[in-house]
Chain A
Amino acid sequence: MRVLLVEDDEGVASALADLLGHAGASVVRATRGTDALNRVKGCDLVLLDLGLPDMDGLDVLRTLRRASTVPVIIMTARDSDGAVVLGLRAGADDYLVKPVRKAVLLARIDAVMRRAGRKADHPAAPAGPVVAGPVTIDRERREVTVAGVKQALTRTEFQLVSHLAARQGEAVSREELMLEVWGTAVVGRSRSLDFFIGQIRAKLIGLPLHTVRGFGFRLDT
């Protein structure tokens, strides 16, 4: 299990890293919110402190939630009822107040992972070819055809198209696409996503790919 540990206090971070290491998890450490968003790809769980030096932990969580459904446990010194409600509403799966006992922490992690595992079973990704207008996207064969004619796509373009096809009919956020293709949930001012979307539209004429303003993109049937 890979755990992303977002904690700016060195003492707590190293104690947690040791503890989780002993418990059999591999720990990725981040001390800043942007680092966390850049390193979250591939992690199974995020342990998030709210008091970060560059941005508020809740903002990190909100951005992360637009990109991914990875389980997040907030572990912080803020213990007012309001803070707990805010944290859980922002998308956290659990909320722990420092200081935490080792046994409690491990039990909570297990519980959150159990729930996440149960949920992940549900949406079985459609394996067959996806048809969107005149375009057919076959992810198994890594082939895209427009009206029966095969189109050559770059790796990035194919990744984007296949991710959108997997969630056909649903709006997919920019953050999610960024995380999927470039491994970071930070959108920033980068226009590369728009560039590749433009490329895809140019290559796959008639593809029903719509821009959802202020959010991301949607591939219709």
Chain B
Amino acid sequence: MSLLLLAVAALAVPLALSLADRRTATLATERDRQLAALADAAAVRDVPLQPLVDRYHAVYGEGALVIDSDGRTLAARELAATDPGVSTAAEHALVDAPTSPWTRIWPWYREHVAAAAGVRRDGELVGAVVVAVDTSIAARDITTGWLWVVVGCVGLLMLAVLVARGLTRWVLRPMNGLERAVAAMTEGASGPPANVAGPPELRHFTAAFNTMAQVVRGSLDRQRRLIADASHQLRNPLAAVRLRADSLEDCLTEAGQSTYRSMTAELDRLENLLQQLLRLARAEEVSSSRRVGLAAAVDATDLADVTAERITFWQSVADLQGQRLSNQSHQPGPVVQLGRHDVEQLLDVALDNALRYAGRDSTVTVSTAQTGETAELVVSDDGLGLPEEDLSRAVARFWRGQADVAGTGLGLAIAAEIAAGHGGAIGVEKAPEGGLLVRYRLPVAREAAS
């Protein structure tokens, strides 16, 4: 901005000065001509001088003075030979000194400038003519000129500012788009590609970024698909093995029975693992499409409602293992923004975990709470729990406790993915009653929150 001002000043100041100079020069030549005419008229022998001076005053409104070579006043009008400026000019003219160039007239200049010329008769200097040049008109002209210069400069400045703003926007808008695209990518969502616009360098960069984003996203998708595809493809051979194994049962001898049983158990595990993997892949797919904003239905599920139902479902398992289930939620409970099926899955994972690992004679408690926009669903037990260092790892994929042989290590990972896909979170902590505590933080449904 200051650079701009400097540039404009560098342009304006010389322009203003030359404007003043030109006007001064014009005035000077004009007056020089008039002075010469007056001097010529005064040079004629025995011409009455006073009318000449009067006429000059009448025409130009400026004072005039004629003196002889000794400095005596021959005729005068509104001008005295004793005025300091006048006498100097007259002396210069009488000694035939070269006329000094006029000083530049400034807009604020209001004085009269004395201009003098020698009167020659037959080549001999016989006197001088002095006029008081009125510079006010010239000064006014210069003022007007300068005003125009100022107006022009302001206009130029405004134009420059406008152009600069346009340029800045042109450069910065694609940067904003890029920033948004980067943010979207960091969140793992696949937003629209950044708009290719702006200067060529930025254009190239944006295009390169878009290509990179596409490649990264593609590889992420492929990775995600790999789990789904692999477990899908594994189903056929597994189905074949399963059918063959089932057919084998009829032709078993006594000796092969135990081997057969453990083989079917392993097959069960394999099937379970595959199913969980597919479930995880599906939860990931859902959560990534949620992030993109493809989620359509607005869900609302009452946590206490689902809790009551799932506890009834798991009661028989708990009874079989000598465990107790306690429902600490009160109806109506918090209403969360998840499908009923998702909440059921979350609860099932936590309850399955608790009942499986808490051990005999333990109590599993389910409770719900709501704080502002977040609802909490907590499943805790007073069983064995996990060592401190394992708590953070429990959600990781394929992580299993040391004593765990039957689990797939995917349950909590699936739950985490489901919760995250709906804008929630999962936490695994030490329960106050001693065992493990799984805490889901879920967003409250919009209608219920408002």
Contact = CB atoms under 8 A, between A and B. Distances in A.
Given A77-B232, A79-B278, A99 B239 contact: yes
Majority secondary structure of chain A interface residues (helix, strand, loop or mixed):
helix
A102 B242 CA distance: 8
Contacts of A16: 243
Interface in A91-113: 98-103, 105
Given A79-B278, A80-B282, A98-B235, A11 B240 contact: yes
B45 interface: no
Nearest to A7: B236
A19 interface: yes
A18 interface: yes
Contact of A22 (B236, B241, B247): B247
Interface residues of B, number: 16
A194 interface: no
Nearest to A104: B246
Interface in A64-89: 77, 79-80
A12 interface: yes
Contacts of A18: 244, 247
Contacts of A120: none
B200 interface: no
Contact of A102 (B236, B238, B243, B271): B243
Nearest to A16: B243
Contacts of B232: 77
Given A77-B232, A80-B282, A19 B237 contact: no
A56 interface: no
Instruction: Pick the most buried of B232, B237, B241, B246: most chain A CB atoms within 10 A of its CB.
Output: B246
Contacts of B242: 99-102
Interface in B271-307: 271, 278, 282
Nearest to B245: A102
Nearest to A96: B239
A24 B161 CA distance: 92
Contacts of A14: 240
A133 B88 CA distance: 142
Nearest to B240: A11
6 contacts: A9-B240, A15-B247, A100-B239, A100-B243, A101-B242, A102-B247
